[in-house]
């Protein structure tokens, strides 16, 4: 026959004492952390500094860069490479025209689906899509997370020419 815990009084008291001790230790740790000051800033309550800029390399919201000489006024050639490489399939482009006159008539990015991996920015052959330093894009309405062509164009108006950065470990002169 299998031995059960608590067959005698001493075993039962030992089990109860171990359980009570475990609960007291847990309550002690919880109490200490409850009165300790927090290390995080709660988002809506933090002070906004007007001069705040995210760190270099920050991946913020999207923008399309302008080129007044191209059809549609955008640098984008609607090659669909950003749409094809996107792992989340959150970029949707409707192209128009052929050859040098090709441009997007619809360009949508659903930032609610996006994981901000930067692949779309890296793959663009004409550096038309970039990410801005905007960091306050939170909303409680999912439809506000969809960026359309006009929004992307407006965001890209005052953005300076993006600097191309070589990935770590690459040799700039093409040698190995």
CA distance 174 to 98: 33
pLDDT at 22: 97
- How many domains in the chain? 1
> Binning pLDDT at 50, 70 and 90, where does residue 71 land?
confident
What's the sign of the alpha-carbon dihedral 74, 100, 80, 105?
positive
Domain extent at residue 75: 62-155
Chain centroid to CA 162: how far? 19
**Per residue in 123-153, pLDDT tens?**
999 999 999 888 788 899 999 999 999 999 9
Half-sphere exposure in the Cβ direction for 125 (13 Å, CA): 5
- Whether 39 is in a domain gets the answer no
Say if residue 45's pLDDT is above 90.
Answer: no
- Whether 16 is in a domain gets the answer no
Check: CB of residue 93 under 8 Å from CB of residue 106.
Answer: yes
- Whether 151 is in a domain gets the answer yes
Calculate mean pLDDT across residues 86-99: 95
User: What CATH code is carried by the domain that includes residue 87?
Assistant: 3.30.70.3270
- Whether 171 is in a domain gets the answer no
- Whether 30 is in a domain gets the answer no
- Whether 81 is in a domain gets the answer yes
Q: Indicate the pTM of the whole model.
A: 0.64
Say if residue 57's pLDDT is above 80.
Answer: no
Check: CB of residue 75 under 8 Å from CB of residue 47.
Answer: no
């Amino acid at each position: 026959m299998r031995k059960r815990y608590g067959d005698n009084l001493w075993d039962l008291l030992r089990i109860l004492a171990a359980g009570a001790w475990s609960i007291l230790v847990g309550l002690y740790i919880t109490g200490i952390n409850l009165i300790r000051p927090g290390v995080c800033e709660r988002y809506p309550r933090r002070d906004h500094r007007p001069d705040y800029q995210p760190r270099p390399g920050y991946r913020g919201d999207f923008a399309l860069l302008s080129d007044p000489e191209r059809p549609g006024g955008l640098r984008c050639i609607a090659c669909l490479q950003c749409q094809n490489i996107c792992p989340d399939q959150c970029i949707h482009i409707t192209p128009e025209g052929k050859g040098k006159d090709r441009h997007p008539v619809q360009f949508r990015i659903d930032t609610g689906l996006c994981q901000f991996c930067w692949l779309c920015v890296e793959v663009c052959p004409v550096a038309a899509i970039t990410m801005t330093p905007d960091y306050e894009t939170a909303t409680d309405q999912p439809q506000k997370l969809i960026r359309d062509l006009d929004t992307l164009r407006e965001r890209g108006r005052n953005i300076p020419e993006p600097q191309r950065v070589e990935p770590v470990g690459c040799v700039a002169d093409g040698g190995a």
